[in-house]
Structure 1
């Protein structure tokens, strides 16, 4: 019965929108018993610094070896920029609450809270997709996509760890029906690859593709890969929703609240 109630709540039409009644869930950490803003603020500072440092290091090392224009074409780099945006807006929410106190929500979520929630809905499944895509399909190829081993680990593995941490340390929900945010970014990137191919763009190796398996010279194969990728992103989004529900149940136990079933995950 609790599972039925959970999915009934998840598939309400209002869950397509960025609406949530408890604004403090966006700036109080999941397991703490008090209402202090400081713990989540500190953690978000660390995550933002990690994300920003990764972007800066990636740009610097890439420009040393090749043109900056090639940095712009890879989904990995789009992903770490989105990670930094999500971490930045999360930090902004915490800083705003720390400086001015309780965030007023009588007229709905403020724009910067919505911006954080939206960007995290994009960043987390995309980060996991990039990690899986890279280590399963791009390593071991004749073309070496790794500029630096340490950087390679940060942009293709630590990226996911940081986004999972950003999700799991807070209390705000993730809704199944928000999957279209990350799919939307995927569509934008897909259109970019098509335009880049049509304009005669190449990768650093002189190939007319950005990734070997996304080759518009073979549209049938490429569309098949794209559809499988879209399905993968939706599945990963669903996994993030499940993890956030488990986080909420565990958080309620840590806070010794009387109700912590899955049906109470989004109250």
Structure 2
């Protein structure tokens, strides 16, 4: 219980609102590895990115084939897919940058059933895979990020309704539970969704903590992968020649 209190006491600090983090290696080395190579996470993240990109393209192409491509952009699910693709893509870019140029220093800145399952389920599995394979922490105060995304979509859906927009079937709503012709009910649904989003954010935090604890237990802290932030992730050819000489 004391460990839980310490954890939330640390997370409740106002400085946790910012995006800074003292250990850059947490963003390109997996908590599950015992080496300082950027390759394992680069390969895994590349796979997750390709899966995400494939689902987005398959979904978009299907809408194009039925001449309803414009409606693809009105669904929250597709917004989420796009964000997932960007997230995994940036993760690949970070890992690739570290593989090619060495470690990042702290002072640097750096419409069918199968498709339905993919856009609602595979994307969740992809993000889960991204979460459990990394080392970066999940901050309590960073709940403002998913909330901003949700609020932006709510505003968009209201504007879309007010402008006379319809879904691919001609309905005046994008999702039947978010029907702005019944604003009271819709606001209630939005509020409950926001509450659920907060709960899910804490679930993600718990998963990140459990991931770190399990990895630490399995490896018994025998190898400090992230100890020296400036240590090269791999030797350059010139370094190999020098050592051989």
Deviation at 1:254, TM superposition (A): 2.5
* TM-score normalised by length of structure 1: 0.81
Spell out the pairing of 1:12-161 with structure 2 (5 A cutoff): 12-106=13-107, 110-111=109-110, 147-161=111-125
The CA deviation string for residues 7-37 of structure 1, in whole angstroms up to 9 with x for no partner, is: 1001011111112111111111111111111
* Runs of 4+ in structure 1 over 3 Å off: none
- Note if contact 1:32-1:254 (Cα within 8 Å) is conserved in structure 2: no
Distance 2:34 2:134 in 1: 13
Q: Which has the higher contact order (CA 8 A, sep 6+)?
A: 2
Q: Confirm whether residue 256 of structure 1 aligns to residue 232 of structure 2.
A: no
1:194 aligned partner: 158
Distance 2:170 2:5 in 1: 53
2:178 aligned partner: 214
Instruction: Select which of 164, 182, 187 maps to 2:128.
Output: 164
Gaps of 5+ in 1: 112-146, 259-267
Distance 1:39 1:255 in 2: 17
Distance 1:90 1:228 in 2: 31
* TM-score normalised by length of structure 2: 0.88
Deviation at 1:250, TM superposition (A): 0.9
The CA deviation string for residues 163-220 of structure 1, in whole angstroms up to 9 with x for no partner, is: 0000110100001110010000111100100110010001111111000111111110
Deviation at 1:66, TM superposition (A): 3.8
Distance 2:220 2:107 in 1: 28
Distance 2:55 2:173 in 1: 25
Distance 1:60 1:3 in 2: 47
Q: SS at the partner of 1:201?
A: coil
Aligned length: 221
1:137 aligned partner: none
Gaps of 5+ in 2: 223-245
